[in-house]
Amino acid sequence: MLILVTGGAGFIGSHIVTALTGAGHEVRVLDALLPAAHRTAPRIPPGVDWRQADVRDAEAVADALHGVDAVCHQAAMVGLGKDFADAPDYVGCNDLGTAVLLAGMAEAEVRRLVLASSMVVYGEGHYACSRHGVVRPGPRRVADLEAGCFEPPCPHCGEPLAAGLVDEDAPADPRNVYAATKLAQEHLAAAWARATGGRVSALRYHNVYGPGMPRDTPYAGVASLFRSALARGEAPRVFEDGGQRRDFVHVRDVAGANLAALDGVDGLPEGGLRAYNVGSGEPHTVGEMAAALAASYGDRAPVVTGEFRLGDVRHITASSRRLREELGWKPQVAFAEGMAEFAAAPLRAG
């Protein structure tokens, strides 16, 4: 198949391109090379059809879709950002860009889509109270966070909660601008599928890390921020108490999930969207990740600061059972192995 990969020069996109070409697919890349993610020219693998253009450019999108069998949509502005002033950029890049792409796909009669979504659509993860069962914590309060009370209490009785794995049927509860734009992308894709008879696999990535992450940018994930600090000779600064639970999944495993989703998208019903969590299945705390990365790097033990960002969530870890059982995917890179590799891997200029 000829696959169009939007954002194919980015961190995750470039690994997907490598996986697709390795699997024998023809690949076309559309990437705007936005400065927030790209400070140097990307390396384009041999045989890849390269197009530098913004996914919001309808003419460029229409040209890039010519002859395409499926689209792998990775182009997005990522991360929590600096403050709410970033909101127009997030909405423009993520939601308007997706709308332009989907309109072009409708016109070109391209009916297969793999969408890069995110775990952030859930907000907080899965919690259970010993008295009230499964509950949804309310918004985090500044006063609690300033007092060092980071764990969300039961909204009914105030007792501590037990955190567990979130599955794809959990209600969406986006708690920052980036999260809202990712959920909007899913809704747009679902509307496109219903209108055209298309099929969508929405991959909800958990905390992706690995070689080629951008360095020294506020839009990168926490693993990149810690690795960037180590490269500068600084200790990683861990917010809150370091006890936030996450699912860190290696970028090559994410690329493998995209391959599986492309193979499986034809098995979905016409007009349907199917969401899949993409996680390692092995939760770790942010503090554990920082310690593993620093130990592999060789110096600069992490510093736990007690600082916080109101838009962050406390615990969010994945159940990737659906992806494993329906599409036959399973992660290949273990946490310790992946962190050791990441500690030695070069980062891209950010």
Q: How far apart are CA 145 and CA 18, in angstroms?
A: 42
Q: Which residues are catalytic?
A: 178
Between the alpha carbon of residue 142 and those of residues 139, 173, 218, 239, the distances in Å are: 10, 19, 22, 14
CB 230 within 8 A of CB 295: no
Q: How far apart are CA 76 and CA 92, in angstroms?
A: 9
CB 207 within 8 A of CB 246: yes
CB 254 within 8 A of CB 15: yes
Q: Which residues are registered as beta bridge partners of 345?
A: none
Name the strand (E) or helix (H) holding 278.
strand 272-278
244-258 exposure pattern, b = at least 16 Cβ within 10 A, e = fewer: bbbbbbbbbbbbbbb
Q: What radius of gyration do the chain's Cα atoms show?
A: 20
Between the alpha carbon of residue 6 and those of residues 53, 60, 61, the distances in Å are: 10, 12, 10
Residue with tokens 């567990």: 164
Q: How far apart are CA 134 and CA 164, in angstroms?
A: 10
CA atoms within 13 A on the CB side of 288: 12
